Amino acid sequence: IAGEHQSGGILDNSYNIGRIDGDITSGGIAGTVNSNVRNCFNAGQILLGDPIGNESADYISYCYYLSEEDTSEEQNTKRNAFSFEGGAYRVNAFEQYIIYSQVVTADDTTLLSSALHDWAEAEGGDYISWKEGDDLPEFLAKYSVNFPSIQGCTFSPYGGSSSPVMENEAFSFVVTLLPGYTNSIITVKANGVVLFRSSGVYTVSSITENINITVEDITPNEYVVKFVSDNDVLSERYDFHYGDIPAPPINPEKAPTETKTFSFIGWDKELLPISSDVTFYALYQESTRYYSVVFLNEGETISEKNDYEYGQELIVPSDPEKQAEEIYYYTFSGWDSELTNVYENKQYIAIFSAFFVEYTVRFLSEGIVIEENNSAHYGDTILPPENPTKAEDSTYTYEFSGWDKILSTVESNIDFNA
């Protein structure tokens, strides 16, 4: 207690004194020098003016309560009522509420009303109109409800709730999981206390402090993406997240049938950012399957057709020929495979039978054939007949002296003359 019944009193810079229970009264003898309560911490109630009812001009400046646990970043505000006592006015100042007031006398209701209005306006309250004799307005605490900025969800007040919230009121809100996070089983807390949802709504009841909402266990959804070709799974992943764009397999293939071939033309869905489990199916363009049939003679193509359809009748070329050699000549005997309708790509190779070439070897004497072999083979040794004779004439007698060609091996048709 400072300055009671003195010419003036100051309660100045009083803090770090623990807690004061009851009131601090500052004032002097009625009508004397003003008293001043300044920079008072940990104050309970502060009474201005002489408690015995005398009027004096007093004021409060920068008077607030600061708890040991609070910091300037965590200050809560709580405003309690003005009330008259002893012809002056009193401010109950709790929990870090700061008042910047004017000098107000007990009989100056206009100034007091103005001070109340300024207080309300500074603290976001309603317009205050007051005159002496009325009950003074009560300013309850207003507390903020703070939501985090978190990826994956949004927060919406529900049922008319808004922040700041009056003391002891409730605040309801809805947490909406954004696309890509809808599978999360979240835990919502208010100042570390788990909230339970009712009909999709979270409610913080009887608020008496600032509220910080937190959300735990919010995780991205994981989606399954498959690429399928002709009932075969080409690719399957379970770790795609919302918005990912899948990379498809390159140029999938579909096996041909006997009558059809298939060309890949794309996927059944556009490759867009993922928002759910999805399976992409390969699309194919169907075409007639054609077969190629080639006929070969001695390694050379004598007939080729590339557009046979399955089961179509085979077109066979005329019988091929093979050039005779010195030893052999050839006749066509058929193809290496049975000639059937077309069921596959195929080559047919001409088959020939070989026969010895037969040469004629003759021995002549005086133009007369004395021996002839019509079945001599190339390379056979030529064997002459017995030496021929020639009858003498009136002038000469004749003795065989040999043949006009050297006797060797058969290489062609040949005549030997004696």
Contact 26, 86 (CB under 8 A): no
Contact 60, 48 (CB under 8 A): yes
Do 71 and 57 reside in the same domain of the chain? Answer: yes
Do 268 and 383 reside in the same domain of the chain? Answer: no
Q: How sure is the predictor about 134, in pLDDT bands with cuts at 50, 70 and 90?
A: low
* CA 380 to centroid of chain Cα atoms: 87
Q: How sure is the predictor about 260, in pLDDT bands with cuts at 50, 70 and 90?
A: very high
Which among 184, 216, 248 is the end of a domain? 216
123: left (phi over 0), alpha (psi -120 to 50) or beta: alpha
Residue tagged 């010419």 (tokens): 7
- Containing domain of residue 377, as a range? 358-417
Exposed/middle/buried for residue 217 (C-beta within 10 Å: 0-12, 13-18, 19+): exposed
Res 18: pLDDT:
33
Q: Which of 380, 369, 375 is nearest to 418 (CA)?
A: 369
Q: What is the CATH number of the domain that holds 305?
A: 2.60.40.4270
> What would the pLDDT profile of 21-34 be if each residue is shown by its tens digit?
333 444 333 333 33
Do 376 and 405 reside in the same domain of the chain? Answer: yes
Report the range of poorest mean pLDDT among 114-128, 229-243, 283-297, 384-398.
114-128
> What would the pLDDT profile of 204-254 be if each residue is shown by its tens digit?
999 988 999 999 999 999 999 999 999 899 999 999 999 999 999 998 999
Res 204: pLDDT:
96
Residue tagged 């300024």 (tokens): 118
Contact 27, 9 (CB under 8 A): yes
Report the range of poorest mean pLDDT among 64-68, 135-139, 272-276, 291-295.
64-68
Mean pLDDT rounded to a whole number for the chain? 75
Which among 238, 258, 288 is the end of a domain? 288
Do 6 and 112 reside in the same domain of the chain? Answer: yes
Exposed/middle/buried for residue 289 (C-beta within 10 Å: 0-12, 13-18, 19+): middle
Do 151 and 252 reside in the same domain of the chain? Answer: no
Per-residue pLDDT for 64 more than 80?
no
Beta bridge partners of 60: 37
Do 323 and 311 reside in the same domain of the chain? Answer: yes
Do 332 and 400 reside in the same domain of the chain? Answer: no
Average pLDDT of 332-349?
A: 96
Contact 320, 332 (CB under 8 A): yes
Do 178 and 277 reside in the same domain of the chain? Answer: no
Do 19 and 112 reside in the same domain of the chain? Answer: yes
Q: How sure is the predictor about 116, in pLDDT bands with cuts at 50, 70 and 90?
A: low
Q: Which of 326, 331, 181 is nearest to 243 (CA)?
A: 181
Distance between CA atoms of 297 and 277, rounded to whole angstroms? 60
Res 165: pLDDT:
87
Per-residue pLDDT for 110 more than 70?
no
Do 91 and 15 reside in the same domain of the chain? Answer: yes
Exposed/middle/buried for residue 144 (C-beta within 10 Å: 0-12, 13-18, 19+): middle
271: left (phi over 0), alpha (psi -120 to 50) or beta: beta
Element (H, E) at 355: strand 346-356
Distance between CA atoms of 271 and 237, rounded to whole angstroms? 15
Which among 216, 232, 265 is the end of a domain? 216
The CA distances from residue 296 to 304, 311, 355, in Å, are 9, 21, 21
Do 6 and 127 reside in the same domain of the chain? Answer: yes
Report the range of poorest mean pLDDT among 52-56, 243-247, 265-269.
52-56
Residue tagged 């700041």 (tokens): 164
Please give the DSSP secondary-structure letter assigned to residue 315.
P
Do 159 and 255 reside in the same domain of the chain? Answer: no
Q: For the chain, how many structural domains are there in total? A: 5
Q: What's the predicted TM-score (pTM) here?
A: 0.51
Q: How sure is the predictor about 119, in pLDDT bands with cuts at 50, 70 and 90?
A: low
